[in-house]
């Protein structure tokens, strides 16, 4: 009831609006950093039963949203509320976006006193502003659990959209079995029950719908978009069984990664090196190919080939990927992970004593000689719970471990159950009913609430740091110094990169005051001084002289911390708007270059001339290529922005046409080669800082931003 729920006061976040940016705050190795201990989410395989896993995630995300929005239920084990945030991306130091809102909370979000009623409210509410990838560093999955990990991790969907896409796969794949394997006993030994092409088309349709903006922005297709993604964001692991295409006997667990896994040191122990599963570069196979590889269950789908390897369902011995995921994260990071959430697809009922003797002959008779399916079902049934028990023992006293798995009803369903064939409404309703019963258990609810509070507390700590923006938001930075930077590529991939640019290009020096010695006022903390010993100064004039002599900064622009952060805030743009702005500037620069070319050729009508101004001609050629790519990169913008861009382009064409009217035929041909119809389309190479280091996350944080146009994909 409303009266029994507690709501947080609309207070100010403890750390104000300045991001925490020291190494302690953003480090992957320092134990005091909120980033050093990772959060892991693992999904079991289980065919269409993976729908239950997403329903459990739905319940978790509703509990998370309540905490984030400042609500506390009487059922919560801890009654301390959090200050209100209205999205899982929110961070207090983003002064350009409101962290808290005065709008009333949705009625369906309010908790109930009764657990059964509270569970019912969960599935009547859509929590679209809160996404799992903001709470987990790694998501791993096997089989259809791999598909869940891809949707929530690589595609960064909310749970509601992922559930909707499950129906797409069910309708197009499990609702359309082949005739003979479905009706003729034993025929699926010679032919898989479902056509691989149907699965591939369904996966590409999901990709096209989920990554609509990304596909438009980079001018690629659902068939080609790679599994690899930004390693500074949530990382995705998909488990399959792989073997060399020339040797299909030795099948081993194979990890598809959206990030790089460095090869272990050759000096390390041999057994340690063997524990690293296929280390190397991030996988650039198309997303649909990775999803097909992990879900290629024998007799259901044909194996999937990718490069020199052939893959089948990872559920054969690795149906529960939590152990593999734990080992993977431990190998990559110095600190022990903080949390592992493992979600199953239903626990199969144990047969009564003596039932196996009566059951097995009938089962074999019904399946014919299809021993592959027997092997699949046996390995899935035995490996899942065995892995759970092993992981539970390993993590005891080391990390928070939660295992959620519906105990009755779901586990006994067929992997490809889907009734009716169109929509699967009966199957989905049955899975939902069994999952609700499980979620009404007091012990399950308590585990979910503890997990939710742990995740929210970690997100809040991380959101105060500089690193959060690259992990959760999609922004770019421009240098606010206009027109001082008008001839430079001023788009930067991170706030820290623009901070360094402020010093190197505009002589910004942060005023660093000495706090523990009254005899000196200021200290120089620039790189050269920090490496050899910090210099301190009693007067500002001494500091300025030092900056000129030691660092070559003659005209210093001093700024305290708040002033510098405010300057950086002025440079923050949503990524889509940043590309739009850059395109506008490039169009204007191109128009100015054309005007300069026309002026340089004034008075030469009727004569055959060569383009003597090679620098102007070369500049136009470069701008043509850049503008073409900028148009590609901003194709996902809204209609009004697209109309505005067309007007700019048309304006440029009109002015070019007017200049041609009084020109010679030879000059007409020259200008036609430089017209808008001949735009190149080369990748944007934004000018900016060079030689900057990599951040704690292992990725280059200093390089200016440029579109990450997918490289040539590996064939599947």
- Please list the active-site residues: 143, 313
Output the six-digit token pair for 274. 């063997």
Burial class for 172, CB neighbours closer than 10 Å (0-12, 13-18, 19+): middle
**Sheet strand arrangement including 475-478:** 491-492, 475-478, 572-574
Three-state SS for 43?
Answer: strand
- Are 130 and 65 in contact by the 8 Å Cβ rule? The answer is yes
All residues at 6 or more sequence positions from 617 whose CB lies less than 8 Å from its CB, including other chains? 597, 611, 674
Q: What is the C-alpha to C-alpha distance for residues 635 and 337, in angstroms, rounded to an integer?
A: 40
Beta partners for 401?
A: 340
Beta-bridged to residue 574, according to DSSP, are 475
CA-nearest of 83, 114, 78 to 10 is: 83
Which class for 402: exposed (0-12), middle (13-18), buried (19 or more C-beta within 10 A)? middle
- CA–CA gap between residue 373 and residue 316 (Å, rounded): 10
Q: What are the two backbone dihedrals, phi and then psi, of residue 632, each rounded to the nearest 5 degrees? A: -60, -45
- SS3 per residue for 521-581: CEEECCHHHHHHCCEEECCHHHHHHHHHHHHCCCCCEEECHHHHHHHHHHCEEEHHHHHHH
| Distances from the Cα of 346 to the Cα of 55, 102, 183, 326, angstroms | 12, 41, 27, 21
Query: Is the distance from CB of 304 to CB of 294 less than 8 angstroms?
Result: no
Smallest CA-to-CA distance from 339 within 315, 319, 322 is with: 322
Q: Are 676 and 646 in contact (CB under 8 A)?
A: no
* CA 85/CA 91 separation, integer angstroms: 8
Instruction: Specify whether the CB–CB gap between 316 and 374 falls below 8 A.
Output: no
**Strands 557-559 vs 400-404: parallel, antiparallel or unpaired:** unpaired
Q: Which two tokens stand for residue 139?
A: 């998501």
Distance CA 82, CA 92 (A): 13
**Cα Rg of the chain (Å, integer):** 30
Q: Is 665 exposed, middle or buried (0-12, 13-18, 19+ CB in 10 A)?
A: exposed
CB 47 within 8 A of CB 294: no
Decide the pairing of beta strands 557-559 and 508-510.
Answer: parallel
């Amino acid at each position: 009831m409303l009266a029994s729920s507690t709501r947080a006061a609309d207070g100010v976040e403890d750390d104000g609006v300045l991001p925490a940016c020291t190494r302690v705050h953003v480090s992957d190795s320092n134990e005091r950093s909120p980033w050093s201990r990772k959060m892991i989410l693992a999904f079991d395989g289980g065919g269409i039963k993976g729908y239950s896993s997403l329903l459990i995630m739905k319940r978790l995300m509703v509990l998370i949203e309540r905490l984030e929005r400042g609500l506390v239920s009487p059922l919560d084990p801890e009654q301390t509320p959090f200050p209100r945030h209205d999205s899982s991306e929110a961070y207090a130091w983003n002064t350009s976006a409101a962290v808290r809102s005065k709008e009333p909370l949705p009625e369906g979000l309010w908790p109930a006193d009764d657990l059964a009623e509270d569970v019912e409210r969960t599935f009547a509410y859509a929590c679209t502003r809160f996404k799992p990838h903001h709470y987990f560093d790694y998501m791993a999955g096997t089989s259809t659990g791999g598909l869940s990990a891809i949707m929530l991790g690589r595609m960064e969907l909310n749970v509601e959209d992922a559930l909707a896409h499950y129906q797409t796969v069910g309708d197009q794949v499990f609702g359309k079995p082949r005739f003979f394997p479905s009706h003729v006993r034993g025929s699926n030994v010679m032919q898989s029950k479902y056509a691989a092409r149907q699965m591939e088309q369904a996966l590409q349709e999901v990709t096209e719908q989920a990554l609509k903006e990304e596909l438009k922005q980079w001018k690629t297709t659902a068939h080609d978009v790679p599994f690899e993604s930004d390693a500074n964001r949530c990382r995705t692991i998909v488990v399959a069984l792989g073997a060399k295409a020339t040797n299909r006997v030795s099948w081993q667990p194979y990890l598809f990664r959206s990030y790089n896994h460095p090869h272990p040191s050759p000096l390390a122990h041999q057994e340690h090196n063997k524990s690293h599963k296929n280390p190397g570069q991030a996988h650039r196979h198309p997303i649909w190919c990775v999803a097909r590889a992990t879900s290629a269950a024998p007799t259901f789908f044909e194996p999937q080939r990718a490069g020199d390897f052939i893959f089948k369902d990872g559920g054969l011995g690795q149906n529960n990927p939590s152990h593999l995921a734990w080992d993977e994260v431990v190998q990559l990071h110095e600190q022990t992970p903080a949390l592992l959430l493992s979600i199953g697809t239903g626990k199969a009922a144990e047969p009564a004593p003596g039932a196996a003797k009566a059951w097995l002959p009938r089962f074999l008779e019904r399946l014919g000689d299809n021993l592959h399916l027997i092997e699949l079902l046996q390995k899935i049934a035995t490996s899942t719970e065995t892995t759970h028990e092993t992981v539970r023992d390993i993590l005891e006293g080391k990390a928070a471990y939660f295992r959620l798995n519906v105990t009755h009803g779901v586990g006994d369903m067929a992997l490809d159950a889907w009734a009716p064939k169109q929509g699967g409404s009966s199957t989905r309703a049955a899975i939902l009913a069994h999952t609700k019963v499980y979620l009404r258990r007091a012990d399950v609810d308590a585990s979910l609430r503890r997990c939710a509070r742990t995740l929210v507390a970690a997100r809040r700590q991380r959101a105060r740091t500089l690193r959060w923006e690259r992990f959760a938001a999609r922004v770019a930075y421009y240098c606010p110094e206009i027109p001082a930077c008008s001839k430079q590529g001023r788009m930067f991939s991170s706030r820290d990169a623009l901070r360094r640019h402020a010093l190197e290009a505009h002589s910004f020096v942060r005023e660093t005051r000495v706090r523990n010695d009254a005899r000196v006022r200021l200290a120089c903390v620039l790189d050269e001084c920090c490496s050899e010993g910090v210099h301190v100064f009693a007067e500002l004039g001494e500091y300025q002289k030092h900056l000129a002599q030691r660092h070559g900064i003659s005209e210093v622009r001093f700024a305290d911390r708040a002033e510098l952060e405010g300057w950086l805030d002025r440079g923050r743009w949503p990524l889509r708007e940043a590309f739009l702005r850059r395109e506008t500037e490039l169009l204007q620069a191109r128009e100015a270059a054309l005007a300069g070319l026309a002026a340089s050729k004034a008075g030469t009508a009727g004569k055959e001339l060569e383009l003597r101004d090679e620098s102007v001609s070369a500049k136009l050629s470069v701008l043509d290529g850049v503008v073409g790519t900028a148009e590609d990169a901003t194709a996902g913008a809204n209609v009004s922005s697209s109309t505005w861009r067309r007007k700019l382009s048309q304006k440029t064409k009109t002015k070019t046409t007017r200049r041609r009217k009084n020109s010679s035929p030879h000059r007409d041909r020259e200008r036609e080669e430089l017209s808008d119809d001949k735009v190149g389309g080369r990748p944007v190479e934004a000018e900016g800082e060079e030689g900057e280091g990599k951040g704690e996350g292992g990725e280059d944080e200093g390089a200016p931003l440029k579109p990450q146009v997918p490289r040539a994909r590996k064939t599947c």
